[in-house]
Amino acid sequence: MSAPAIVIVGAGPAGVRAAEVLADAGLRPTVVDEADRCGGQIYRQPPAPRRRPYGKLYGSEAARARALHETFDRIAPAIDYRPRTLAWDVADGGVMLHAGGAVGRIPCSHLILATGAADRTLPLPGWTLPGVYTLGGAQVALKSQDCLIGERVAFVGTGPLLYLVAVQYARAGARVTAVVDSGSRADQFAHAPGLLAKPGVALRGIGFVAELMRRGVPVLKGAIPDAIEPTPDGLAVRVGGRSFACDAVGLGYGLRPETQLADLAGVPRRFDPRQQAWVPESGADGRTPVAGVYTAGDSAGILGADAAELRGARAALALLEDLGRPVELARARRLEAGIARWARFRAAVDGMFPVPAAALATLPDHAVVCRCERVTVGDIRRVAALAHPEDVNRLKAFGRVGMGRCQGRFCGENAQAVLAAITGRPVADLGVHRAQPPIKPIPLADFARVAENAEPLIEEAAQ
C-alpha cells in the first residue's frame, strides 16, 4: 500500500502543529508556504540577516513564537517544506503550485488547509490613498523590516488587533495620533463577562488600552471616520468635528478567513453572521464534507493564534484516524475542549467589536469598494437599480466588482453588505464570490516552466 500524499497549505500556528502531529506519527507531509520562513502572520520572522530579539518582535507572545519556531526546526528534516510557494488551485487529485517562476502539480490524497486570514477593510472615503495600510500590512513592515509606515500614525478600525498594532508602533517609536474604534462602550461592557473564558488574554488586551491612554493617545469609541483626507504634509483622519493629522493610517475591521482553496476543493461555505464572513463547513475536528480535506486555524473561522495551534493538531489527528492510524482519544478530547474555550472567548470578542457592516449603507457614492476595478458605492447602486442582480456573482458580472487581482478577497463582503442594504435582503441570501484559479495572479509565461519536484500541468511543459 502506497504512502498517503499529504499536503498542508500554510506554515503558521495551525500548519506547523498539524505537521508536527503527522511527522511524529512517522508520516512525511508536504508543507506549502508563501512566506520565506514559518510562523504565519502572527509569528512572522524577519529575513535571516535581520534577526532581532524575540521580546522585541513578539512582545507578550515571544515564548509562544519561540516554541513554534523551535518545533518547526525540530521536524524540518521529517517534512517536505516548500517556502515561497503559492498553492493556487486544488483539482484532479493534486495541488497546483507556483514557485521560482514556474508552475507545477503535486499529488494529494489528503489536504489540510491552514491558509489563515486577512484583514477586513471598510471602504471609507480615502482608504485607497497612499499611506493607508491594513493593520496586517503595518505589522509586516514592523516585523519583517523593522520599519514604520510613518512617524505619525493613526489607527482606525475595531477589534483586539487594532490596539495591539497601535501599542507595537508606540513602543517602536512612532507617535500614535489617534485610535478610532467603531466598537461602542455599550457593546464592550455587555459582552465583557464572556472574556472570563480566557482572563489572562483579556487582561493583556485591557493593558494595551491602558498603555495607550497613559501615553496620551486619543482613543475614540463607537466612532467611524467620515473620511481619510490628503493634506499638504501627509494625511488626516476626519471624525465628526475632529481631525487627526498623521503620515500614515493603519486600517482594519477585524479579520476574514482565507477560503478560496477550500472553495476550489469543493468545500461548501456558510455565512457566519457574528463575524460577518463566509467560512468553510467543518467540524471541531477539522473534517469537511469533502473526504480527505480538512481545515485548521483561522481559515475555518476566526478564533486566534492560540486556538489555531489546537485546531491544527486536531485536524492532523482526524487525518490519522481516517488513515486507520491509532490516535489517543483523550488527546483529541482535550484539544476539542480547548478549542471550545477559545470559541466562547471569541464570541465575546466579536460581540465587543462587531464589524460595522450597517455603516456601508450610508457611504457616499464616490467611496471605492473594489479598488482593483475602481468600482464605487454609487456604481453598485446604479447596477442594482438597472440590472437587479440576485446575488454577488451577478453583481460581479454586471458591475465588475470582485473581477480584479484579488477576486473579491478584500471587496467581497463589503460589496455584499452594500447590496444587502440596497435590496433589504440578508447578506446570507446574496451568495459568496466563487473562487477562480489561480487564486492570485501568476505570469502567463510561468506556465511554460515546471516547478522543481512537481508534475507538469500540461504535456508541453514537460518537454
- E strands, 315-445, where? 368-370, 375-376
Answer whether the bond into residue 289 is a cis peptide, omega within 30°. no
- Of the two residues 153 and 62, the one the predictor is more confident about is 153
- Mean of pLDDT values over 187-213: 93
At position 246, the amino acid (one-letter code) is: C
Mean of the pLDDT values across residues 308-312?
Answer: 98
Cell numbers at 341, concatenated = 474555550
pLDDT tier at 462, thresholds 50, 70, 90 = very low
Cα 142 from Cα 86, distance rounded (Å): 23
**CB contact at 8 A, 345 and 243:** no
φ and ψ of 74, to 5 deg: -65, -40
Share of the chain above pLDDT 70, in %: 97
Cell of 140: 509586516
> For the purposes of burial, counting CB atoms within 10 Å of the CB of 236, is it exposed (0-12), middle (13-18) or buried (19 or more)?
buried
Upper half-sphere CA count for residue 353 (Cβ side, 13 Å): 20
Residues 108-128 have pLDDT tens digits of 999 999 999 999 999 999 999
CB contact at 8 A, 337 and 305: no
Taking CA atoms, 458 is separated from 96, 414, 447, in Å, by: 12, 37, 9
Sign of CA dihedral 265, 270, 273, 274: negative
Query: 373-410 burial, b if ≥16 CB within 10 A, otherwise e?
Result: bebbbebbbebbeeeebebbbbbbebbbbbbbebbbbb
Residue 403's alpha-carbon distances to 177, 349, 372, 392, in angstroms, are: 36, 33, 8, 11
Radius of gyration of the chain (CA): 22
Residue at 242: amino acid letter: R
Q: What is the DSSP letter of 458?
A: S
Check whether 460 has a pLDDT greater than 50: no
Tell me what the pLDDT averaged over the chain comes to: 92
**Residue entry with cell 449603507:** 361
- CA–CA gap between residue 287 and residue 277 (Å, rounded): 20
Q: What is the pLDDT of residue 449?
A: 84
- Report yes or no: 34 and 139 within 8 Å, Cβ to Cβ: no
Per-residue cell: 163: 490596539
- Is the pLDDT at 447 greater than 90? The verdict is no
Q: How many CB atoms lie within 10 A of CB 291?
A: 10
**Domain architecture of the chain: domains with CATH:** 6-118+256-349 (3.50.50.60), 121-253 (3.50.50.60), 357-430 (1.10.10.1100)
First to last CA, the chain: 31
List C-alpha distances in Å: 298 to 245, 356, 408, 412: 34, 20, 18, 18
Q: Residue 463's pLDDT is what?
A: 33
- 8 A C-beta contact, residue 128 and residue 25: no
Amino acid code (one letter) for 337: A
Q: Are strands 375-376 and 368-370 parallel, antiparallel or unpaired?
A: antiparallel
DSSP H stretches of helix in 76-115? none
pLDDT at position 293 over 70: yes
Residue 81 contacts residue 31 (beta carbons within 8 Å):
yes
With a CB cutoff of 8 Å and minimum separation 6, the contacts of 16 are 38, 68, 71, 72, 309, 312
Assign 109 to helix, strand or coil. Answer: coil
Percent of the chain at pLDDT exceeding 90: 82
Q: Which helix (H) or strand (E) holds 35?
A: none
Percent helix, strand, coil in the chain, to 5, is 40, 20, 35
Mean pLDDT over 82-97 rounds to 94
Residue 23 pLDDT > 90? yes
Name the DSSP letter for residue 293: E
Angle between helix axes 392-399 and 412-423 (nearest 10 degrees) is 100
Residue 327, pLDDT above cutoff 90: yes
Tens of pLDDT, residues 360-377: 889 999 999 999 999 999
Q: Which of 44-53, 140-149, 173-182 has the lowest mean pLDDT?
A: 44-53
Q: Are 170 and 211 in contact (CB under 8 A)?
A: yes
Q: What is the pLDDT of residues 144-171, one digit of tens each?
A: 888 999 999 999 999 999 999 999 999 9
Instruction: Answer yes or no: are the C-beta atoms of 121 and 182 closer than 8 Å.
Output: no
